[in-house]
Amino acid sequence: MNAAAPALRLHWSPGACSLVPHVALEAVRTVYGTPYAENRVLLHEREHLTPAFLAINPRHQVPVLEVDGAPLTQVTAIIGYLDDRFPLAALLPAAGPARWRALATLAWMNNTVHPHHTRLFRAERFGGEAGAEHVRTVAREAFAKALAEIDALYAGAGGGYLHGDAPDAADVYALALWRWAGLRGLDRGGLGAFGAAMRRLVEVPPVRTVMAREEIDLG
Ligand SMILES: N[C@@H](CCC(=O)N[C@@H](CS)C(=O)NCC(=O)O)C(=O)O
């Protein structure tokens, strides 16, 4: 491994799943002093569809982490890379069953829960004009069920976080999902343990710093 610090540049969008690597990079900067450059990509302004961004990620999605100029995509891969390169930042539990459970939770959020939200938010992309309402209804139900599952995980954590006493990347993903639920008008009233954990999480310094930069709140 190259001992010199890599040049890191994150492409992110306010409140998107790029929140997870954004907070991770802030934790790395705090612990290691390694700086990172950033590029805000406004999805609602269609900045992810510009030739400049498509040259970096032809799949037109954030996050992208450029490592010494080479683009790395997918939240799970970016967190895996950063955790490997900067273990003291504690982006995932260090070892043992908690580490693999954290990776499993992160993967589930990314490949299952997040797409439920995408179908709810962008139903017309999946159902066309004729089927959008049905896609929205099914996606809302699936998303709500997943949120209840996350609430049960926090309830079982006894005042801690998903995989121990300290938050990891999966807790930050939970924060993104929590905000999206609010933005889409889901009833979060019954998710008491989830909400309590999120109110604690936003006080953790790297999370607070990044939320201020992204100009987002708990919603
Ligand atoms: N599995 C992907 C999900 C990425 C994703 O869905 N990004 C959304 C924002 S949260 C995006 O950029 N959407 C724009 C688009 O798909 O055109 C990852 O981990 O990077």
pTM: 0.97
Pocket of ligand 1 contains residue 110 by CB under 6 Å: yes
Pocket of ligand 1 contains residue 79 by CB under 6 Å: no
Cα of 87 vs centre of ligand 1, distance in Å, is: 26
Pocket of ligand 1 contains residue 20 by CB under 6 Å: no
- Residue closest via CA to ligand 1's atom 12 equals 61
Residue closest to 142 by CA, chosen among 120, 162, 110, 171: 120
pLDDT at 1 over 70: no
Rounded to the nearest 5 degrees, what angle is found at the Cα of 56, between the Cα atoms of 54 and 62?
A: 80
Atom of ligand 1 nearest to the CA of 60: 17
28-70 residue pLDDT tens = 999 999 999 999 999 999 999 999 999 999 999 999 999 999 9
User: Which residues have CB under 8 Å from 135's CB, separation 6+?
Assistant: 119, 123, 126, 127
What is the average pLDDT across 73-80? 98
78-92 residue pLDDT tens = 999 999 999 999 999
Pocket of ligand 1 contains residue 61 by CB under 6 Å: yes
